[in-house]
Amino acid sequence: MSVIARALDIYNKTYSKKFLEKLFLGTVQWFETVGYIGMTLFHSLKSLFTGNIDRQKFLEQSARFGFDSLPISLLMVSITGMIIAIQVSLEMVKQGAGDYVGMLVSVAIVRELGPIIGSFAVISLVGSSMAAEISTMKVTEQIDAMKVLGVSPVNYLLAPRVFAGFFIMPFVIILADLLGVLGGMIMSKMIADLNTITYINSVWSGLQVKDIITSIVKAFVFGGIISLSSTSIGYKAKGGAIDVGIATTRAVVWAFVMILLADYFISWLFFSQESVSIG
């Protein structure tokens, strides 16, 4: 065996080679997933503009995004508002800054925590089940049977879910934001005995229209991300039951990561100029 062949044999057994292989495969998989999501969005838009989207399925998926996910979303965001109030209200009242408690809670909830926590709740409940449902249909060849029968999977399965996520999510987040602010008001009263009128006036003076618009934009984008990642990754599943679990996990992880990235860019877009002008 030559020196080069021996060196290659030793290198093939090292952790460095395994790491580089996993890095390469992960990069390829990342680009493939981005491509799947882009193609799903393109075909869904085409279905919408040509009027071929299944309206009944759209209504069903809208109810799924809205009514089914509403209890857990409202609960999580309202508890988040309570936690913020517990941590800051008593100390701020002691320092004579009770007039700013409502402002702090409302801005934190509406700008950031409401959309993020609400979206995470929807991912856990709706996104995971959606990915599991579509991936199961794919590996059991139900989608292939639909194609044989002349039914478009895009019009019947993907597009209704995608646009339900885009259009229903803002309503969920608006209600969740409201419950989060109210939860902060209740705890501020209980913990620091803060006057309710003082809290409400603080909310009105601190919360701007820009904050509400930002929350709605985030909800719109996050809803689309959840539905796109769930449908795209579920639709590309292959194999058996194990692969359904893998596809579901990947869809949830992708939704989490993409929402955080989108949150960063939207926040930068809306508030970076504000910070520059202050500086």
pLDDT of residue 17: 63
Q: Is 1 a domain residue?
A: no
Helices (H), the chain: 3-12, 15-49, 55-63, 70-94, 101-107, 114-122, 128-139, 142-148, 153, 159-192, 196-206, 209-235, 241-278
The span from the CA of 198 to the CA of 169, in Å, is: 31
Q: List the structure tokens of 215.
A: 């929350």
39-65 pLDDT, tens digit each: 888 888 888 888 888 888 889 888 888
The span from the CA of 245 to the CA of 233, in Å, is: 11
Q: Is 30 a domain residue?
A: no
Q: Is 23 a domain residue?
A: no
Number of domains in the chain: 1
Q: Is 13 a domain residue?
A: no
Q: Is 275 a domain residue?
A: no
Q: Is 195 a domain residue?
A: yes
Residue ranges in the chain modelled with pLDDT below 50: 275-279
| DSSP letter, residue 141 | T
pTM of the model: 0.87
pLDDT of residue 276: 46
pLDDT of residue 252: 92
Q: Is 7 a domain residue?
A: no
Q: List the structure tokens of 156.
A: 């019947």
Range of the domain at 180: 39-267
pLDDT of residue 171: 93
